Structure 1
Amino acid sequence: MTSDDHRTLRIRDLAPGDHAAVLALNLESEALLSPMDGARLLELLRETAYHRVLVDDGDRVLAFLLAFREGCGYDSPNYRWFQAHYPRFLYIDRIAVSSTQQGRGLGAVLYRDLFAFARAGAAGAVACEFYSQPLNEGSSRFHAKFGFGEVGTQWVAEGRKQVSLQIAAL
């Protein structure tokens, strides 16, 4: 695939050499994501079904996405909500796009790849959540374009934020 400025972009599995870049991207977006250090990243990678990065022609990580299948030991309250309500799903835990690359459709590139992965693995549905209080309007619009709809809500962050729990059927 090519981007607007003609660089070649590709998706590949997250490799150990990507960890520093992934942690930096997560930190850059931490207002919308859970904090993650190196130990937590390794813990998550042991459980993820999908852990891919989008890189440029210089193999620089521009974005990443982590997702979990049902039945794993992931400790997220949002993941556990879907586990309690859906027999088969692929849960998007986090996606981050470099602030210098936002607005170029890189998140959509990763989502299209994730949906293909979910279909190939007979996931049944793709699950996610985003903040509804305070509302993350950009995320709400983005997920609507992929056919997500609200199936529940819950309060997180010690009652300071509410998430909209979303499902997109495959």
Structure 2
Amino acid sequence: MTDIAPLTPAHLSTVLDLNNRYSVEMSSLDEAALQSLVAQSWLALQADEGRAGFLITLDHQASYDSPNFAWFAERYDNFAYIDRIAIAPGAQGQGLARRFYGIAEAKARAAQLPVLVCEVNIVPPNIDSQAFHKALGFTEIGQGLLAGRGKTVQYLSKSLA
């Protein structure tokens, strides 16, 4: 079983490569943007030195310039926002994403945050991610067109109350 540990500066180049491999599903980042995101993260995890996967989560106190984060911030006072997760092809199907989400949910519950939120592409479709989130108990609470990006997202939430 792959060990999960905090994402540190030593993992950034590996995580950046994995992130940008999935630029259709997530927005691509440069090194400075990833450093900023990790610096303000509420929970940042990696597996296998970042080679197997990573998860970056922010809470409602972040000052993150993202239309998706802003959408949730307009609707919730307190929340944990899963901004991005990526699992390397060789690590997929082994439960790593579920483990990442389980840790995020446990931390959010411990912090008494009432909801865990994220978004998933519906244009272009990310059917595997939609099914994954549904299986974990997330429900759609809205949709948004990301102007200039050619994407439409489905906003999802999971009540932790």
Which TM bucket (shorter chain)?
over 0.9
Amino acid corresponding to residue 139 of structure 2 in structure 1: G
Task: Verify the 8 A CA contact 1:115 1:126 in the aligned structure 2.
Answer: yes
Distance 1:111 1:138 in 2: 15
Please report how far the alpha carbon of residue 60 of structure 1 lies from its aligned counterpart in structure 2 after TM superposition.
5.9
Change (3 A) 1:63 1:41: same
How far is the alpha carbon of 1:134 from its aligned partner? 2.5
- Residue 79 of structure 1 is aligned with which of 53, 69, 84? 69
In 1, Cα distance between equivalents of 2:78 and 2:25: 26
Q: How far off its partner does 1:135 sit?
A: 2.1
Aligned equivalents of 1:167, 1:43: Cα separation in 2: 25
How do 1:119-130 residues align onto structure 2 when only pairs under 5 Å count?
A: 119-130=109-120
Structure 1 residues 1-170: aligned runs within 5 Å:
2=1, 9-55=2-48, 59=49, 61-158=51-148, 160-170=150-160
Stretches of structure 1 lacking an aligned partner (at least 5 in a row): 3-8
CA contact (8 A) 1:71 1:83 kept: no
TM-score (norm 1): 0.89
Structure-2 separation of matches of 1:16 and 1:49: 15
Q: 1:68 to 1:60 in 2, by over 3 A?
A: closer
TM-aligned CA distance change 1:60 to 1:68, over 3 Å: closer
Q: Is the 8 A contact 2:7 2:50 kept in 1?
A: no
Q: What is the identity, as a one-letter code, of the residue corresponding to 2:28?
A: P
Deviations 1:108-167 (A, max 9, x none): 111111111111111211000001123211011000111100111110142621100000
Q: What CA deviation, in whole Å up to 9, does each residue of 1:22-72 have, x standing for no partner? A: 0111021111111111111111112110111122xxx56311000110022
Whether contact under 8 Å (2:143, 2:154) holds in the other structure is yes
Q: RMSD of the TM alignment (CA)?
A: 1.3
Across the two proteins, how many residue pairs are aligned to each other? 160
Identity, % of aligned positions: 33
Q: TM-score, normalised by structure 2?
A: 0.94
1:60 and 1:30, CA in 2 relative to 1: closer, same or farther beyond 3 A? Answer: closer
How many Å separate the matches in 2 of 1:95 and 1:64? 6
Partner of 1:6: none
Report if the CA contact (8 A) 1:54-1:110 is conserved.
Answer: no
Q: 1:114 to 1:35 in 2, by over 3 A?
A: same
